[in-house]
Homo-oligomer: A and B are copies of this chain.
């Protein structure tokens, strides 16, 4: 079993951190006096129960011990981990709690549960790691006999390994570290390490088109997937007969990113790699964000991408968010780039030298391994820090987008202006390039501001302004956080009315009564 996250905070409660002193100083400097605004432990309210006959029907499928109605379990399946989600949870708002949590262990049980949901018109919300930051777990309740959280945690097997083809078939409930541990026993790795890695699930990676910190080297999750099995109300869809095919449209790419609205993913076959023998992460300093991102472009277009590459802008570098322990401790001027190489020692050495030669030629300064090591140590910590900042009256949230290289400066300026316009000049807006491609890159923004009277409203206005700016700049509303409920209006603008029509047609075909994650994704 996996560690449950805290219902009001990110991650493992045992791993929670207090705000470092340096960061506290920075908060005072940026936003004035520190106000303590801790989440208060509240007694869980009485949550209305699902009709007993429906519970019995669910028990028939998975056994009574896997049909859970207690408030604590349901609180832990309420919404995801966006800042608005946390603000609501901290305020004790459990209005979005599911009526019941059901834990199937096999595909056959999932099929039976989907059939039951259709029969009784129950909203079914597939639940993996619960790490959504875009409202992907906030299903519409109206019109349904109840909301069932379909917790996939027991679908946690490594079903097959093919070391000749270098593929592995994984069940959706496996958390990142579980999957890596199972693969490591075969000397293999998936190489997928998003910031949510420690809690997010294989099914979630597929359902949201996740992208990880090492995706420059290992590939985005959608590019790792060669096959899928999906249980839909219209039957089981099994896809993936070859690494590549010209057999019509690629239906795998319809399931990837479908966020539980078209079916329940019950297995994913992915490309795997040998566990790297060597890992080395270097720091590089650049005189400007433009110079550093131009260097990234050069590497990508030369086919010289390292395993990990990210570049913080001037503000993020100064704040040093990449290393929470040293936040506010100052730092060098310019922009910090982290460049990581993983693999066989000789390949890593050759690659590292080739990349270093290009970066030096383009004006980068090699900072050695210390900044890379600091990044590596803190790579999954930022969400914990967000909680610590929420505790002292600071609103913190992230958002991300992607565009083609020639449009990146326009996009960067537009989003920064939108966030500052909405949150005031006092807001801190940090940005890094989190992923790069031959034709473009993603921009990942972190924003902090003093919490207003109504921080939910405050953030909603800022998020809307930033999203408007993203779409106006012709960029995508999300590079790796997915649509959920939060991005729907802008998603509709991004794909246009004909795109929305296609998506609705697919939804109506596979899930004609709309029981799967209603209200999510499909505009």
Contacts and interface: CB of A to CB of B under 8 A. Distances in A.
B237 A496 contact: yes
Interface residues of A, number: 87
Interface in A489-503: 491, 494-499, 501-503
A159 interface: no
B440 A165 contact: yes
A133 to B, nearest CB: 11
A476 B402 contact: no
A333 interface: no
Contacts of A278: none
A235 B498 CA distance: 6
Contact of A241 (B238, B253, B476): B476
Contact of A248 (B252, B301, B437, B491): B491
A496 B247 contact: no
Contacts of A478: 245-247
A475 interface: yes
Interface stretch (A38-46, A80-88, A108-116, A208-216): A208-216
A1 interface: no
Contact of A483 (B248, B297, B442): B248
A167 B439 contact: yes
A506 interface: yes
Contacts of A232: 498
A245 B221 CA distance: 11
A165 B404 contact: yes
B250 A402 contact: no
Given A506-B506, A509-B502, A510-B502, A165 B406 contact: yes
A334 interface: no
Given A235-B498, A509-B502, A510-B498, A247 B405 contact: no
Contact of A494 (B226, B247, B440): B247
A412 to B, nearest CB: 14
Contact of A271 (B237, B248, B439): B439
A509 B505 contact: yes
A480 B244 CA distance: 9
Interface of A: 162, 164-167, 208-211, 220, 222, 226, 232, 234-239, 241-259, 262, 271, 297, 301-303, 347, 401-407, 435, 437-442, 474-483, 487, 491, 494-499, 501-506, 508-510, 521
